[in-house]
Amino acid sequence: MVGRPERLYQATLEVLSDIEAGKLSAEDVLAEVIRQLSLLREEQLLRTEGILSQLRASEKVPLSTETIVTLIEQHLKCPNSSRLPVLLVAAAL
């Protein structure tokens, strides 16, 4: 297996080899993966809630026209970027 980050793929192969060799139980590995994913999800939810609470608490300050144009230009320069956000901002103006 080849991919990025390389260390992740090496570690995955080591775990699969250990399962095949009987050093690790597949059930234990699955349980640990699910536990880690649950922790990651909770961490992301807390981070999202924190950001949302900051946004709710902050005062709404309208962007200047120049700032909006700059944001649209930056967005359009990004490779593989979606055009939908730009269209939404343009429609709001």
What range defines the domain where residue 48 resides?
1-60
* Token pair 């709710």: residue: 56
On whether both 88 and 52 belong to a single domain, the answer is no
How many structural domains is the chain composed of?
Answer: 2
Per-residue pLDDT tens listing for the chain (93 residues): 667 788 999 999 999 999 999 999 999 999 999 999 999 999 999 999 998 888 777 766 677 888 878 877 787 787 777 766 666 666 666
Same domain as 67, residue 37: no
84, two tokens: 């939908």
Alpha helices in the chain (DSSP H): 6-21, 26-57, 65-77, 84-92
**Contacts with 85 (C-beta within 8 Å, 6 or more apart), sequence order:** 75
**Whether pTM exceeds 0.85:** no
* CA 66 distance to own-chain centroid: 29
